[in-house]
Structure 1
Amino acid sequence: MTLALDAAAQDLLFREARTANAFTDEPVTEEQVQAIYDLVKYAPTAFNQQPLRVVLVRSPEARQRLVGHLMEGNQAKTAAAPLTAILAVDHEFHEELPRLMPFVPDLKDTFFAERPVRERVGSFNATLQAGYFILGVRAAGLAAGPMTGYDADGINKDFFPEGDHAVLTVVNIGRPAENAWFPERLPRLSYDEAVTTV
C-alpha cells in the first residue's frame, strides 16, 4: 500500500532520521523554532489540552546550569549543541481549557480539578506532543538528540522553581555533524513481532 508521503519525506521523518549525538556550529534560529512549533502544535491531545511547555536554553549561563544536571555522557554534547530545549509538562494546563475547549466551559473545574488527575493526563498528552516536536525538528531539516539521562528533580528545581512544571525530556537540536550517529543503526522489532490482530 502506498503512503501519502513521498519516499523522500518518509526518509526525512522516519527511515533515515536518527538521534544525533554531535552537531555543527550552525545556529538554530528563533524563526526555525517557531516554524517547528507552529507545525507540531496540531498534535492530538485529549480535550485539546496543550500541556507541553518548551524552554529554549540559549544563554551560556542557563546552558551551564542545565549541563550540571545531566549524566556525564550527555554533558559534552549538550554543551556543544547549537540549541537545547527542555520539554516539560505544565500541571496547570487546565487553566487554558476554557479557551481551548469553549464548548465544555466547566471542564477545568470538574474533570481536571484534582492535581493528581492533571499530572497523569497532562504527562501523557505532553509526551505525545514531545514526540511530534521531534518530528517537527526533523521536518525542518534539523536533527534532534532527545535525552532522559538527567537529574529530573534538579532540573525541575532549577528551571521550574514554582513547582507547576516537570521535565519530560531534554532535546539537543541542530544540523548533524559528520560523526553525529553511532556506526550502525540499532534494530527495531518487525511488524510480525509488534503487531497482532484480534
Structure 2
Amino acid sequence: MGFRLSKIYTRTGDAGETGLGDGRRVPKDHPRVEAIGEVDTLNSQLGLLLAALAEQSHNYPGLRQISDVLEPCQHRLFDLGGELAMPVYQALNGAEVERLESAIDTWNEELGPLENFILPGGSALIAQAHVCRSLARSAERRCQQLNAIEPLAGVGLAYINRLSDLLFVAARLIAKRQGIDEILWQAAAKPEA
C-alpha cells in the first residue's frame, strides 16, 4: 500500500467545505460529515477504552478477552467512516454484525439478566465503556439522520446499533471482572401526598 497522505493540510476546507471520496464537496456541517465525525469521535474514545483495558489487564486478566473482542471494532469503525466518506464503497459485511451478536450472547450468559437500570460508573473503565456506548448511540442517530436524506447501503446501521449494545454489555462485564458492584439507579423519592 502506498502513502495515503503526503500533506496533512490542504487549505481546501478553509471556506467551510470538505471533499468526499466521490468527488463531491459538501459543507462541513452536512449530515454525512456529521456522521463521519461522530464515528471518528467514537473510535477515538474506544481507543482510550482499549488503552485503559490494556493497562489494567495485568491486574484483571479477564479484561484481555474483552479487549480481544473490542480491538477489531476500531478497524470496522474506520471502515464505516470510509463507507460514509465514499458512498459507493462497501467494507462492512453481515459477518461483522454476527460477530458482535455472538459476543453479546456469550457475555450475557456470564452476566445473567439485568434486574435494574444501572448508572455509568463504578470505575474509570466502566465509565469509559459507557462513554463509548453513548457515543455509539450518537453516531447511530447521525447515521440515521443521513439515511433519511441519502439512504445508506450495507450493514453500517446494524453494525453501529450492535456495537452500542456490545459496549453496554462490555461495561457490565468489566464491572464483574473487576469485582465492582454495578451502580443501580435509584428513583427519586416521590413527594408525600
Q: Is TM-score (shorter-chain normalized) higher than 0.5? A: no
Say which one has the larger Rg: 2
Taking structure 1 as the reference length, the TM-score comes to 0.28
User: As a proportion of its length, which structure holds more helix?
Assistant: 2
- Which is bigger in relative contact order (C-alpha 8 A, separation at least 6)? 1
